[in-house]
Structure 1
């Protein structure tokens, strides 16, 4: 494949359009020798003469070059379109933005952020992908997502993070549980009760770690990666749960009511962050999303 540049094609077309190397140089604000050397190199690379140079009469295309000129113009036009699209995506506020989110977090925080994005930046199309932490991180590193909303638990150093909010863990109880009468609840009061464990990394290790930091080992009765199934089992009176994401409704899918109470002894929190691969240049679309997410998530009780 010939190793020519778009700049060489630009010089060639300028010579043809202006009729001389000197006029092309004046139009492009470069020296005549610069254009002459570039076109001579282009001719060597293509293995053909492109311009006929006549003293005091300027330049004209050779017959073979005349056939190639429309393709050269088309290449430059496509390159210009590509540059404008890249500028819009990188510095403008329109284009597609791939956003990932942890599946337990997405239903709580993403709808409001997407609505606010549509109102504030209608030119940005947000493509959503949700999944486990490992899936979202892999997709970020593969370049299929631009940014993601995650909990800042066990995230690799290869991700940069922008903190948004740090919601506390809480206890979810059946509405007729005796501990509902308490204003807040200590882990030691729960340790002998059946725990319905949200079994999704990193939540599982975070919740178990709260107990183990106090030398306690909870009695796990059921596990599920689905926060709604966990809430449903709690609503049926089968145990309690420790959760961070708190839906607005206290009803489960099957219509049971659960009651939330704060943990009395929970010194650690799991911040919600915007994560992106380290070294990835931040675009204006990313900045816009971060600003909206900070307002919608950071400014609300989560």
Structure 2
């Protein structure tokens, strides 16, 4: 059994996150020599070099350090939870949790979850990050976020995912479109028109795959990674789009009305999932958030 300490792990993570021993010392309010000695001792105990020390350029983690960073973050999180549980036995849930979400989901889901959990657990602090699916997966692997809200598209084996919802894709049409009055539309009836494509990997290939499955090819006129920009171009009559995430309103940022219609020839549903690193035990905070997310989607179904 290795005899390094939680304090040494804390020093290591701080040095990596801050990019220098000086930054870690300032963040943790301890002296630089204290951190340097502790890290040198940890390297001797493990028999590997953890940090590359470059004069005037700070420190960078070695491959050995990068291999243990996610587990180290998880271990410190569990240690913190154990301490809180011992101090606050019988009291409400407390602590900090960082959630990452793909940017098309974040504004639709996270505000309600933050508000709900804030009411139920006043001592729980939720930090959020949003971005592309690739960015959120990278943040999860690096330990920068504890859990992620994503689409179940090309997820790596390292992510354990729980399905929260399976929304159906729909066509977004400008007001007055020739098909806007129909209850459902078909991709084959839209394929010859200009498509405004949500261009955020891996969603791009997933959307284009819907057309191929329907036996047609899309005529891509414009692309954007921003769902609101896509909606705005549809509202201006520049084309139609196919989306999965559906806002609660039918107006674009500039006030134009758009019309959402189900696709009758697209049986494939998208899957929204909440994920964490496989093999890392979920903390109570993570379990509570996952249950709240599941309840939110069930209520919205």
Aligned residue in 1 for 2:117: 117
Q: Evaluate the alpha carbon distance shift between residue 100 and residue 178 of structure 1 in structure 2; reply closer, same or farther with a 3 A threshold.
A: same
Aligned residue in 1 for 2:182: 182
Aligned residue in 2 for 1:221: 221
Q: Evaluate the alpha carbon distance shift between residue 249 and residue 275 of structure 1 in structure 2; reply closer, same or farther with a 3 A threshold.
A: same
User: 1:140-159, aligned counterparts within 5 Å?
Assistant: 140-159=140-159
SS at match of 2:179: helix
CA distance in 1, matches of 2:203, 2:5: 52
| Residue 113 (structure 1) shift | 0.9
In structure 2, stretches of 5+ residues that fail to align are: 7-76
Q: Evaluate the alpha carbon distance shift between residue 235 and residue 135 of structure 1 in structure 2; reply closer, same or farther with a 3 A threshold.
A: same
| Residue 215 (structure 1) shift | 2.6
Contact 2:140 2:147 in 1 (8 A): yes
Aligned residue in 2 for 1:239: 239
| Residue 269 (structure 1) shift | 1.0
CA distance in 1, matches of 2:85, 2:215: 50
Cα deviation 1:119-170 (Å, max 9, x = unaligned): 1122211110001011100110111111010011111111001111111111
Cα deviation 1:103-129 (Å, max 9, x = unaligned): 111011111111111111222111100
Q: Evaluate the alpha carbon distance shift between residue 181 and residue 118 of structure 1 in structure 2; reply closer, same or farther with a 3 A threshold.
A: same
TM-score, normalised to structure 1, is 0.70
CA distance in 2, matches of 1:194, 1:266: 19
Asked whether 1:167 is paired with 2:167, we answer: yes
Aligned residue in 2 for 1:135: 135
| Residue 85 (structure 1) shift | 3.4
Aligned residue in 2 for 1:100: 100
Asked whether 1:87 is paired with 2:85, we answer: no
What RMSD over aligned residues (CA atoms) do the two structures have, in Å?
2.2
SS at match of 1:266: coil
CA distance in 1, matches of 2:139, 2:285: 19
Contact 2:81 2:283 in 1 (8 A): no
Aligned residue in 2 for 1:73: none
Aligned residue in 1 for 2:254: 254
Contact 1:89 1:96 in 2 (8 A): no
Aligned residue in 1 for 2:271: 271
SS at match of 2:108: helix
Aligned residue in 2 for 1:201: 201
CA distance in 2, matches of 1:157, 1:4: 30
CA distance in 1, matches of 2:284, 2:233: 44
Q: Evaluate the alpha carbon distance shift between residue 84 and residue 211 of structure 1 in structure 2; reply closer, same or farther with a 3 A threshold.
A: closer
